[in-house]
Amino acid sequence: MRKFLLACFVLAAVVSGGQASAKTAKGVWWWRGEDASKPAVAAKRLDFLAKNGVSEIYFCVDPEKYAGETRSFVKAASAKGMRVALLAGDVSWIRPGNRGFAGTLLAFRAYQRRAAPDEKFYALHLDVEPHQDQKLQNARKWQLYADFVLRAAADVHAAGEKIEWDIPFWLDDIKVAYGEIAEAPLLDVLMDSSDCVTLMSYRDTAAAMLDVSKTEIALAKARNVRVVLGAETGETGEGSVVTYFEEGAAKMNAELAKVASALDAAKVPAGAGIAIHHLAGWENLVLKEKQK
């Protein structure tokens, strides 16, 4: 409790003075885009999310292959009070000459043009993680990433759409060339180019999630960017402290309620939220508790 109160105190200090935020959002990563073609499966999962207070979904789907099914899915989610972003990403996109993102953006724009208002995605939500590329040297990969972030954001905003980025919490000390600045914080590039950053604040207590996120929350407030704190549910092999896999769904819900309360109290001007990675892992946690 002492650690949690300390984290809340630190968080309040870095974000105090902002205008009142909207109610903290609750999001979820949904990686199985083929669920859109299975109405009964999609309906059951949407019911689960609605009952658990989810307000936004990051949905990884091919909007060309499943165009009609996706429109129906987004409409069904909207009817239950949940908005949907198109989730996409590939680390290869940062490499010079790679056209993967261009194709994704074309498909996204084509879908948006054909969709009715209650069938549209609210944003393009990108999960591009340069640290997964083991072939590029660190300095090179992070500069390529920064350059890609700027290009992608410019293209998405030029299309009149919003862009969100999934980012790890440990980018604080990474420097890149940015404009006329030879060594600018990578976080500055992301914050200047984003409508929202979804932080992979993967820790298994509210206090720890808030502590690893305090720099990003302060920057999001200063740059008028929405910030979402993410929680992991899977058995990752990266240590028990990064996931709620061992603690279970009930404990995760209790801790995320504390995070949401702290974010509401922080009054982040552009808004704030929590998110769960990911739907299947969350469902597994719930199932495990029912079987006890």
DSSP string, 70-117: HHHHHHHHHHTT-EEEEEE--GGGGSTT--HHHHHHHHHHHHHHHS-G
Give pLDDT, residue 76. 98
Is residue 61 very low, low, confident or very high in pLDDT (cuts 50, 70, 90)?
very high
Per-domain boundaries in the chain: 24-290
Find out whether 128 and 94 touch, Cβ atoms under 8 Å. yes
Is residue 7 very low, low, confident or very high in pLDDT (cuts 50, 70, 90)?
very low
List pLDDT tens digits, range 243-288: 999 999 999 999 999 999 999 999 999 999 999 999 999 999 999 9
Q: Residue range 163-190: average pLDDT?
A: 97
Give pLDDT, residue 156. 98
230 pairs with which residues across the strands? 275
Q: Residue range 195-204: average pLDDT?
A: 98
Fold of 24-290: TIM Barrel (3.20.20)
List pLDDT tens digits, range 135-167: 888 899 999 999 999 999 999 999 999 999 999
Distance of alpha carbon 281 from alpha carbon 287, whole angstroms = 10
Distance of alpha carbon 169 from alpha carbon 231, whole angstroms = 12
